[in-house]
Amino acid sequence: MQSNQLSVRNIQLPNLGIGTWAWGDSLFWGYGSNYGETEVQAAFDAAVAAGATFFDTAEVYGLGESEKLIGKFLKQTSQPVQIATKYFPLPWRFNRDAVAEALTASLDRLDVEQVALYQVHMPFDFFMGQETLMTALATEVKKGRILTVGVSNYSAKQMQQAYDYLATYDVPLAVNQVRYSLLTRTIEKNGILDKARELGVTILAYSPLDQGLLTGKYTPEKQEQVTGARKIDPKFSASGLKKIEPILNQLTALGEKYDKTPAQIALNWLIAQGDVIPIPGAKNAKQAQENAGAMGWLLSNEDVKQLSLLSCQ
């Protein structure tokens, strides 16, 4: 058994969280069509019951609807829950007051006085430089409205810059949220993962199942099941699915060995990297329960190594 908790700077987080982009987002995810508030509340409840009490949202998810939904669900649970949300550096946000105003709006939608983690959604400078942005975030830590500061989609160089600016206020950089999975290992090659480890920054891995590719649902034989935007993604074509077949076969084999699903094996591979928290999405209770099943155990070193080698080919 492995601990379900990870120390992230001055807070404790589960080593798996739930991404909530799909909660309230009708444009990209189709919220309100084949799923809605009832389903995502069931996902929230199932995740909390299973110990996955960390939820990642953003002010732009469903144009604030994701935060509102989480705020509503928080009122209906007595369990401690950790919330991360994000600030989007829009062009017209050009001074420190804009950060305070955006945070206030997020806290209002969540109906809380403090969040565990507040992240910069994109490394856009526009008219507000990174120094001003990080100063504003450090100020909010001092005020107690956020416990830790994070960034998202930052390069190694940008992460170092953010880290240095925050350090002048004795505020550590807690996380960098980036795309990371068995099939998307760019951060291992472009310096982000190495820099994060050097600085003591935890990686929040979004799209850890590569939009379902690593669940085993899509295979060359079942290519007709591919729908929506996935149809134009070459990774979901018959040839694309054929290319990753060895990884999917290994995930299935390891699933049988550990009595887990292929998705749980893929998520556990990320947990096994150390200081990495995968944040898969969940639209319903079943998906949330399956995600949480990746916690509390670890693949053997040999199985981690084998999966790593296969996904590099």
Per DSSP, the residues of 164-221 read HHHHTTT--EEEEEEE--SS--GGGTSSHHHHHHHHTPEEEEESTTGGGGGGT---GG
Distance in angstroms (rounded) separating the CA atoms of residues 313 and 311: 6
Residues 274-283 as b/e (b if ≥16 CB within 10 A, e otherwise) read ebbbbbbbbb
Residue 144 burial by Cβ neighbours in a 10 Å radius (0-12, 13-18, 19+): exposed
DSSP designation for 79: S
Q: State the catalytic residue, choosing from 31, 61, 154, 218.
A: 61
Is residue 259 helix, strand or coil? coil
Q: Are strands 11-14 and 5-8 parallel, antiparallel or unpaired?
A: antiparallel
The letter for the amino acid at 62 is G
Give the residue among 279, 285, 301 at the shortest CA–CA distance from 13: 279
Distance in angstroms (rounded) separating the CA atoms of residues 130 and 173: 13
Which residue's entry shows tokens 């949330």?
Answer: 288
The two tokens of residue 189 are 């090659």
Specify whether 118 is catalytic. no
- Contact status, residue 166 vs residue 201, Cβ threshold 8 Å: no
Distances from the Cα of 191 to the Cα of 187, 194, 196, 201, angstroms: 6, 5, 8, 13
| Residues assigned a catalytic role | 61
